[in-house]
Structure 1
Amino acid sequence: MKRVLLVLCLMLTMAVSAVAKDNDDQPVSALDSIVKSGVFKVGLDPGYMPFEMRDKKGELIGFDIDLAKDMAKSMGVKLEIVTTAWDGIIPALLTGKFDLIMGGMTVTQLRNLRVNFADPYIVVGQTIIINKKVADKVKSYKDLNDPKYTVCAKLGTTGDIAISKYMPNAKHRQYETEAEGMMEVVNGRVDAFVYDLPPNAIFASKHKERVVHLEEPFTFEPLAFAVRRGDYDFVNWINNYLQQIKGDGKYQVIYNKWFESADWVEKVQ
């Protein structure tokens, strides 16, 4: 009997030790460091209108900026925006330069291999800005799938991926910023620019004399905030936060400010 009890005790000790080891192996949530430091660090790449951009004074404004400020307020901490080039934003998150990517990032399966996404906070799709000289021949992305057309996108974006996937026969150019690609279309050096609907619509409305906006999205793209893999506590917090502000109307107020009104445009022109 004593031997049986001894074996049971040993087994229980081993089980407790295994659980403790598993708990030790669990990644520390960014929430812990945020609360401890009193600072919420958000990574984004300014220039994605109306999500994040600089006004005439050089201050960051936009849909994502307002959400980031409100998230920090909900945590009771200060907000620190870490501006980062888009093509290096995931490595920067993984190396701890900030706690969360909030830059209009589209959820893709490839990105999901490297980061965890919270629930989407908005859904957009890819649209196309074309130069007016090809407007009579180009009515959709299908018409651009031809070697005689040059189509461009911002490097590393889902627009960049969409060109390779849906327009493989077109000449494909990449630019560091969306502004470069858009102006190439305005100046007639490329035929089309592929990007998310909101910034494309805003840009096209200001250059109607030179470009045409093919405003029907040809992709489905949910945008979500990204955190380091394994940080399910943070994902849970973000999801609950989004549910709360969508339920109490705060999200709609912020959305209307940036998507239903053009009052902010004067601040960036």
Structure 2
Amino acid sequence: MSQTSQTIDKIKKTKVLTVSVNEFYDPFYIENPNPEYPGLDVELAQAYAEFLDVELRVIPLRTFDQHAKMLERGDSQIALAGLSSSILRFKDVYFTDPYLLSTPAGLVNRASLPPEPEGQIVTVQLFRNLLDLQSVSGISFSVLSNSSNHLYLKETFPKAQIYSYFTSEAAFNELKKNNVNCFVADYYYIMALLQKNPSLRATYLPIMGSVQEDHISMAVAKKDVEFIYHLNFFIKEFKRSGKMQSLINKYFKTDKWVKKEEAK
């Protein structure tokens, strides 16, 4: 006997897919976007809504707890919000297979790094990933509170000064104010900052090499396993057909999504 998904039945009955997104994580979700650039998560949600032949309703939220509560109440069916899956979060939601792989990455103040050896042509960048910063004395970090990146820093740099903030933007501002010498966030968050403000590279070195495999996944309520099978198949097909790579290229290989007043 074939199982049906109660969630999909509800979506098809109401003809609406309700998805929560991250209000402060462009270009995954972009408020008042440029035409044709609503955000990577929004376009992925649109594709799934088309797959089901229903309308899409998008609700911007701020914290993981808000996403989890909304799913639990049945007010949304998917949280599509640049979320990294973790054992801690698994207590509250189920995660699909990843649609993107990420890593903790950083922007480090060039002035805090040791000078490169004089008279040598340096062919290898000395600081490729965050682990390379373990040799830098007096390193201090700013990071989003209780994020996977915060946990990574606490485990990897137990003796370093780590300051955590309620938003990634506040954490980044601490770097700009010279209160810390390295801001840590997801690879894609750092990529987006550099697209909005390419001149950051003059003062800060982007450190983008992989140190751990973060799975950016959709989250759903802990009650409908059939729905997860359905979403996983959709994600697999979206990747296999090259559509996921097209979205990555659209938002991370060009800066056309950046709004004029943001570009500096």
Partner in structure 1 of residue 10 of structure 2: 33
Match of residue 164, structure 2, among 174, 178, 196: 174
Deviation at 1:228, TM superposition (A): 1.0
Give the alignment's TM-score, normalised by structure 1.
Answer: 0.79
* Partner secondary structure for residue 256 of structure 2: coil
Give the alignment's TM-score, normalised by structure 2.
Answer: 0.81
Partner in structure 2 of residue 18 of structure 1: none
The number of equivalent residue pairs is 244
Deviation at 1:64, TM superposition (A): 0.8
* Partner secondary structure for residue 118 of structure 1: strand
Aligned pair 1:217/2:210, yes or no?
A: yes
* Partner secondary structure for residue 120 of structure 1: strand
Separation (CA, whole Å) in 1 of partners of 2:44 and 2:8 = 17
**Alpha-carbon distance change, 136 to 122 in structure 1, aligned in 2, over 3 angstroms:** same
Higher relative contact order (CA 8 A, sep 6+): 2
RMSD: 2.8
* 1:10-30 deviation per Cα after TM superposition (whole angstroms, max 9, x unaligned): xxxxxxxxxxxxxxxx99732
Separation (CA, whole Å) in 1 of partners of 2:35 and 2:151 = 31
Aligned pair 1:62/2:52, yes or no?
A: no
Deviation at 1:259, TM superposition (A): 2.3
**Alpha-carbon distance change, 81 to 59 in structure 1, aligned in 2, over 3 angstroms:** farther
Larger of the two Rg values belongs to structure: 1
Separation (CA, whole Å) in 2 of partners of 1:183 and 1:55 = 23
Aligned pair 1:158/2:155, yes or no?
A: no
Structure 1, unmatched stretches of 5+, are 1-25
Partner in structure 1 of residue 99 of structure 2: 121
Separation (CA, whole Å) in 1 of partners of 2:150 and 2:36 = 28
Give runs of aligned pairs for residues 1-269 of structure 1, distance below 5 A: 29-55=6-32, 61-88=38-65, 89-136=67-114, 139=127, 141-142=130-131, 143=133, 148-204=138-194, 205-266=198-259, 269=262
- 1:111 partner letter: R
**Alpha-carbon distance change, 206 to 176 in structure 1, aligned in 2, over 3 angstroms:** farther
Contact 1:127 1:214 in 2 (8 A): yes
Deviation at 1:238, TM superposition (A): 0.8
Higher alpha-carbon deviation: 43-52 or 102-111: 43-52
**Alpha-carbon distance change, 208 to 122 in structure 1, aligned in 2, over 3 angstroms:** same
Deviation at 1:55, TM superposition (A): 4.2
Separation (CA, whole Å) in 2 of partners of 1:250 and 1:192 = 34
Contact 2:143 2:168 in 1 (8 A): yes
Identity of aligned residues (%): 21
- 1:245 partner letter: F
Contact 2:102 2:216 in 1 (8 A): yes
**Alpha-carbon distance change, 87 to 257 in structure 1, aligned in 2, over 3 angstroms:** same
Contact 2:7 2:224 in 1 (8 A): yes
Partner in structure 2 of residue 16 of structure 1: none
* Partner secondary structure for residue 202 of structure 2: coil
Separation (CA, whole Å) in 2 of partners of 1:71 and 1:28 = 15
